[in-house]
Homo-oligomer: A and B are copies of this chain.
Amino acid sequence: MSNDAKSTRDDAPAGAPKRCAICAVRETSVCALCDAKELGELDAANFTRQFAAGQEILGAGTPVAFVGSVISGVVRLTRTMADGRRQIVGLLFPGDFIGRAALGVSDYDAVAASDVTLCAFRRTQFEALLRATPHLERRRLSMTLDELDAAREQLLLLGRKSAREKVASFLALFARRLGHDEEADDGVTRVFEIPLNRDEIGDCLGLTIETVSRQISRLRREAIIEVARNREFRVLDLQALLEETGDDSDGGILS
């Protein structure tokens, strides 16, 4: 249960630097457009919550007490059918916002895929802040439109891409969102860790665990990627990986 999560509200002494000012997702989160005054109001209302990997953050059909920004870690949003079939309908990375302030319940589960730190607000309080803070609502709208675009991209993936294209697209997404470059003797290698097991990757891509595994094995055999300890990926040939996604653009991954 989410009740196990740690909450902290360590009040900084007056005059000390505001926590918001040193926030890791200051530039990308819902408060990105806020000025110093607005930031002060948010700073007074928020609290930090920690979730361990696998812990439920919001449950489908259960009351939503809080909303907030992902500071670190990855959250997965899951829809489940009556007979157990599952689809991961969203992945939230640092800076992304979780929860719908105006609604008391959620349609899907939100689960911490890795250890997650959240900058949280009481739901009803955040709703009031939204209305009182134009920059906040504007940024929230813009982020939601981006999320909608991402979801529509995923519709194309699920509806029209082959298993190989799906897996390549998925790896390219993580390379872009979580990857960092590493110097190798034969060029640069993009390295990242996927905080999902094969089952969960399958639930993202509308594939079975076996098909995901086979496609990853094949990319590895072709020396496009390397995999260590199941979840650590190294892209040896980014160009080749992007060509396998079926997309015409690189999604902004090339610098």
Residues of A within 8 A of B (CB): 77, 79, 81-83, 85-87, 89-90, 100, 102, 107-108, 131, 134, 137-138, 140-142, 144-145, 147-149, 151-156, 158-160, 203, 205-206, 246-248
Contacts and interface: CB of A to CB of B under 8 A. Distances in A.
A177 to B, nearest CB: 18
B100 A158 contact: no
B149 A107 contact: yes
B158 A159 contact: yes
Number of copies: 2
A160 B89 CA distance: 11
A163 to B, nearest CB: 12
Contacts of A85: 160
A247 B137 CA distance: 33
A148 B148 CA distance: 5
B148 A138 contact: no
Nearest to A82: B248
Contact of A81 (B147, B160, B205, B206): B160
Contacts of A102: 142, 145
Nearest to A90: B152
In the A-B complex, the 8 residue pairs with the smallest Cβ-Cβ separation, listed nearest first, are: A159-B206, A158-B158, A89-B152, A151-B151, A87-B156, A82-B248, A85-B160, A87-B159
Contacts of A90: 152
Contacts of A248: 81-82
